[in-house]
Amino acid sequence: MSSVVVYNLVKTYAGGDRRATDGVSLEVADGEFLVLVGPSGCGKTTLLRMVAGLETPDSGTVSIGGRDVTYLPPRQRGLSMVFQSYAIFPHMKVRQNIGFGLTMRKVPRDEFDRRVKRAAELLHLEEYLDRYPAQLSGGQRQRVAVARAIVVDAAVLLMDEPLSNLDALLRLQFRAELKRIVGQLGTTTLYVTHDQAEAMSLGDRVAVMRDGRVAQLGAPLAVYDRPADRFVGGFLGSPPMNFLTARVGGGALAVGDASLQAPDHLSTWEGRDVVVGVRAENIQVATEPAAGWVPARIEVVEPTGAALLLTVRLADEQLKVQAPATFPAAPDARVHLRAEPAALRFYDPESGLALDA
């Protein structure tokens, strides 16, 4: 049992003007891959470092496998770490780098060989074991850092932006490999990234952080489909969720001259504005008008290869719409839009919080 439970962690750095983490509570279940994601400065690294034992919280607790480790040093916590600046030793060959944690633990020679071989196999590094880090590419060095972390069979793996030094293509390849490897090992993993696509791809669940707090925690698609507030909807997804202001009246939602059907639960908002959230891929687009479709004008057409990303104007609002690659789109052309009612989300314009059905 190697769950990680973080309870009400508060941390303010000396000289810091606000809390780096402001009462964070979450649980990483045994064998789960949980991703902390959020913009720069939201406190994700601080949270990870408190789990690691590299920072001491002002208050709150960290438990690993049911044991309170809040004030234990890192080496007594049964975890292993990979950081962005993968500190592999330049004067040691790959074999000794991968096996470093085993050497420290005085693991016997044959077991050392067996475990290093297995970690090297998982990371496709077998043929590089006798090279020095300087003779490797950046991607291969990063693999060495991951192999070194997994070779010790720690109950919990902590990773802080392990892919951020890799170029875009390598990042994508290694992301899938990490997912395979961690899935195979079944190690409880807490992973920090500022990259929302990486978070969606890797996490069993994602915790979206903002200003030292968890804004939302859930399965990637659940969070993507039902953002708990405007911040989460705007942070997850590329393009971000569209938001437009609509006036509720007589069972309808008015956006400029256009009118959509309002769901029943908005009846308490009669006569007031709400914010409607809708993802680009949930908006259908047509060249011809039809009942219930809303007229709009194309401003920009961007081919992405698999689709077209349209910037369209609807009344005073600008929206991103994903159209099929074959859609006959041109700047200034008039088009007609519609979205399934089930794909619309509603937010309080003041607080930004979701108005649940």
Ligand X SMILES: Nc1ncnc2c1ncn2[C@@H]1O[C@H](COP(=O)(O)OP(=O)(O)OP(=O)(O)O)[C@@H](O)[C@H]1O
Residues found near ligand X in the complex (CB under 6 A): 13, 15-16, 20, 38, 40-46, 194
Count Cβ atoms below 10 Å from residue 270 Cβ, excluding itself: 12
Q: Of 48 and 120, which has the nearer Cβ to ligand X?
A: 48
The Cα 295–Cα 286 span in angstroms is 10
Backbone angles phi, psi at 188, to 5 degrees: -60, 125
Which CA distances in Å does 297 have to 62, 181, 317, 331?
53, 47, 11, 8
Question: Closest distance between ligand X and the C-beta of residue 232, in Å?
Answer: 15
Q: Of 38 and 99, which has the nearer Cβ to ligand X?
A: 38
Whether residue 156 contacts residue 27, with contact meaning beta carbons closer than 8 Å, is answered with: no
Question: Closest distance between ligand X and the C-beta of residue 19, in Å?
Answer: 8
Q: Is the dihedral of CA 207, 208, 209, 213 positive or negative?
A: negative
Q: Of 194 and 279, which has the nearer Cβ to ligand X?
A: 194
Q: Of 229 and 269, which has the nearer Cβ to ligand X?
A: 229
The Cα 53–Cα 294 span in angstroms is 55
Q: Of 229 and 296, which has the nearer Cβ to ligand X?
A: 229
Query: Which has the closest alpha carbon to 279: 214, 355, 344?
Result: 344
Tell me the helix, strand and coil percentages in the chain, rounded to 5.
Answer: 30, 35, 35
Locate tokens 């990637």: which residue?
220
Question: Closest distance between ligand X and the C-beta of residue 8, in Å?
Answer: 17
Question: Closest distance between ligand X and the C-beta of residue 194, in Å?
Answer: 5
Question: Closest distance between ligand X and the C-beta of residue 161, in Å?
Answer: 7
Question: Closest distance between ligand X and the C-beta of residue 40, in Å?
Answer: 3
Question: Closest distance between ligand X and the C-beta of residue 58, in Å?
Answer: 13
The Cα 272–Cα 169 span in angstroms is 47
- Measured in residues, the chain has a length of 357
Whether residue 231 contacts residue 238, with contact meaning beta carbons closer than 8 Å, is answered with: no
Question: Closest distance between ligand X and the C-beta of residue 86, in Å?
Answer: 16
Q: Of 38 and 277, which has the nearer Cβ to ligand X?
A: 38
Whether residue 250 contacts residue 219, with contact meaning beta carbons closer than 8 Å, is answered with: no
Q: Of 57 and 99, which has the nearer Cβ to ligand X?
A: 57
Q: Of 15 and 271, which has the nearer Cβ to ligand X?
A: 15
β-sheet with 273-278: strand ranges across: 258-261, 252-255, 242-249, 273-278, 345-347
